[in-house]
């Protein structure tokens, strides 16, 4: 019986590994494939960094790279700053306001990006913000805030309540408690939220296409342009996609290995 359970465990794990890793592995192979005859060869006959070097030297890709890596850190930073106070409220109180806020945050994670983007498009067109790169920051934040808020809230919930009570007894204000007590103890959660917020911004396509095109080009837009129309170039698209994948992958590994925090609002040391 135990052997049968182990077999099924391996089957499930193998399926998940193939389901989630195979597309990424194929993109990496495609980016490195300098010669690949699909009709006869199962794998590339020659690997190299030719496509990646071409994309690095392409001024169009360079501009998109700069735009992406300006937007992503700024989006992550503003997201973290905005999330701290609401996260503190959610972590320290379980009243009706906190429950409603938590419900709204959870619901926004299920909103289709195309619907949200269309609504913001109407507003941005009215305000004259369409095509403005800086206006993409709040748009990217829409889906980054729920993940950031949950991560930071979970981190704050791990801090013993006694520490806050002692600080308040000695005259600390609520903001001083957050600054002097919570932030030093939860920096790993903050950094984890920053990494995931940055990854969300780097991978955002729908909002950027709706609100930034044709003025603002990011790496996701470049990948889309390389795989549509008559000039389809999957190797070039795969090479550009590595500029999105690698930072996100490295950040995810670091977050999982060194900065692990629970994303569940239910856990904690309360």
Closest C-alpha among 144, 180, 181 to residue 162: 181
pLDDT mean over 237-254: 84
Task: Express each pLDDT in 9-43 by its tens digit.
Answer: 888 888 888 888 888 888 888 888 888 776 677 77
Task: Express each pLDDT in 136-183 by its tens digit.
Answer: 999 999 999 998 998 899 889 888 888 888 888 888 888 888 888 888
Contacts of 220 (CB under 8 A, 6+ apart): 68, 202, 203, 204, 205, 208, 244
Task: Express each pLDDT in 86-97 by its tens digit.
Answer: 999 998 888 888
Q: What is the DSSP string of 165-219?
A: HHHHHTT--HHHHIIIIIHHHSHHHHHHHHHHHHHHHHH--HHHHHHHTTT---H
Whether the CB-CB separation of 246 and 200 falls below 8 Å is answered with no
Cα–Cα distance between 159 and 172 in angstroms, integer? 17
Report for 44-53, 60-69, 91-100, 155-164: range of highest mean pLDDT: 60-69
More confident residue, 102 or 231: 102
Share of the chain above pLDDT 70, in %: 89
pLDDT higher than 50, residue 261: no
């Amino acid at each position: 019986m135990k052997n049968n359970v182990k077999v099924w465990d391996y089957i499930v794990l193998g399926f998940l590994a193939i389901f989630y890793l195979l597309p990424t592995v194929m993109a990496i192979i495609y980016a490195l494939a300098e010669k690949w005859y699909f009709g006869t060869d199962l794998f590339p006959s020659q690997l190299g960094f030719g496509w990646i070097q071409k994309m690095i030297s392409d001024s169009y890709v360079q501009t998109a790279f700069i735009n992406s890596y300006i937007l992503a850190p700024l989006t992550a930073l503003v997201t973290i700053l905005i999330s701290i106070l609401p996260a503190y409220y959610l972590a320290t109180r379980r009243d009706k306001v906190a429950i409603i806020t938590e419900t709204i945050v959870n619901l926004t994670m299920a909103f289709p990006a195309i619907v949200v983007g269309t609504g913001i498009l109407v507003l941005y067109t009215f305000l004259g913000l369409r095509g403005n790169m800086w206006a993409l920051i709040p748009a990217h934040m829409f889906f980054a805030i729920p993940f950031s808020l949950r991560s930071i809230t979970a981190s704050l919930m791990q801090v013993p309540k006694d520490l806050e009570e002692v600080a308040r007894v000695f005259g600390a204000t609520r903001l001083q408690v957050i600054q002097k007590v919570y932030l030093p103890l939860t920096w790993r959660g903050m950094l984890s939220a920053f990494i995931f917020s940055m990854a969300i911004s780097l991978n955002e396509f729908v909002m950027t296409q709706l609100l930034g095109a044709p003025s603002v080009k990011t790496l996701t837009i470049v990948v889309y342009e390389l795989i549509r129309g008559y000039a389809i170039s999957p190797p070039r698209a795969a090479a550009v996609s590595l500029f999105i994948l690698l930072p996100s992958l490295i950040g995810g590994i670091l977050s999982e290995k060194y900065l692990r925090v629970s994303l569940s609002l239910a856990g904690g040391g309360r």
